[in-house]
A and B are shown apart, each in its own frame.
Chain A
């Protein structure tokens, strides 16, 4: 589990905030307001996007060609956000997203990244032994599936469009969205009905 911050880190933050506020550069109130907005982002947004793509071919095409526009259609303001790339899983190809260099993550549509995504173990092993990493999540892909690891190294943020699972015929979008986990949109899981 991630350790709590050290006392000297907490003190550094306090000193920095005091200095920024004294100079009129940034205030506690601004930071708190921004935190409140950030806290509202969640994987439910991504799940709704996936569910809509499963049922609406035009939206699916939009999602795959212009992720930001697709997110905007869900009511998410993407102003100033980095480009959103969407990786389509198929029976022949499964995607796994990692940022080996830091922790790039599609926060606007998935919320805060989980600690494990930011961990040294995931960052180093996901690109080198992805099948072993997936096995730790209980996901074992068939041999004839290409496992494509996507290393987020630049301006895009990436999410996976998983395949719609069998046994969901006739389900409405809300019910379908409930199947789409954050882990499935990173690629360490697949949705199951």
Chain B
């Protein structure tokens, strides 16, 4: 595991368009509505044990958690332009965009 956060504030990132729910029992804290979406890293929030593993009492490596900001309009195609949603997302769900 590399030292320090992989993504800096301001980085443009995409949430992986992955659906572990289709592969078997899991516990995922990445909401469906941001999967595959592009957002901006606001800041890293620290490193925390992976809840996906904690939920099954498996060894849970620490992963960097980020606050990532998304514009609302591309997600829902409704609402006021300029409104946003900010979500805590773990590093392993993010890739450079």
Binding site for B on A (CB under 8 A): 83, 85, 100-101, 127-131, 143, 146-156
Decide yes or no: A153 and B80 within 8 Å by CB, A127-B85, A148-B85, A148-B86 being known contacts: no
Tell which of A146, A149, A154 touches B88, judged by Cβ atoms closer than 8 Å: A154
Q: How far is the CB of A120 from chain B (nearest CB, A)?
A: 15
Q: Are A146 and B83 neighbours in the complex by a CB distance under 8 Å?
A: yes
Q: How far is the CB of B90 from chain A (nearest CB, A)?
A: 7
A152 to B29, CA, bound (A): 9
Tell which of A143, A146, A148, A153 touches B31, judged by Cβ atoms closer than 8 Å: A153
Q: How far is the CB of A106 from chain B (nearest CB, A)?
A: 14
Q: How far is the CB of A144 from chain B (nearest CB, A)?
A: 8
Q: Are A153 and B88 neighbours in the complex by a CB distance under 8 Å?
A: yes
Can you report 17 A-B residue pairs in the complex whose CB atoms are below 8 A from each other?
Answer: A127-B85, A128-B33, A143-B80, A146-B84, A148-B86, A149-B72, A149-B83, A149-B84, A150-B85, A150-B86, A151-B88, A152-B88, A153-B30, A153-B87, A155-B65, A155-B88, A156-B88
Contacts of B51 in A (CB 8 A): 154
Decide yes or no: A151 and B31 within 8 Å by CB, A83-B46, A156-B45, A156-B88 being known contacts: yes
How large, as a class, is the contact surface on chain B?
20 to 34
Q: Are A129 and B85 neighbours in the complex by a CB distance under 8 Å?
A: no
Q: How far is the CB of B22 from chain A (nearest CB, A)?
A: 18
Decide yes or no: A149 and B45 within 8 Å by CB, A101-B29, A155-B65 being known contacts: no
Contacts of B87 in A (CB 8 A): 150-151, 153
Q: Sort A-B residue pairs by CB-CB distance and give the 3 closest, nearest first.
A: A154-B88, A147-B83, A149-B85
A149 to B67, CA, bound (A): 12
| B3 is an interface residue with CB less than 8 A from chain A | no
Q: Are B48 and A155 neighbours in the complex by a CB distance under 8 Å?
A: yes
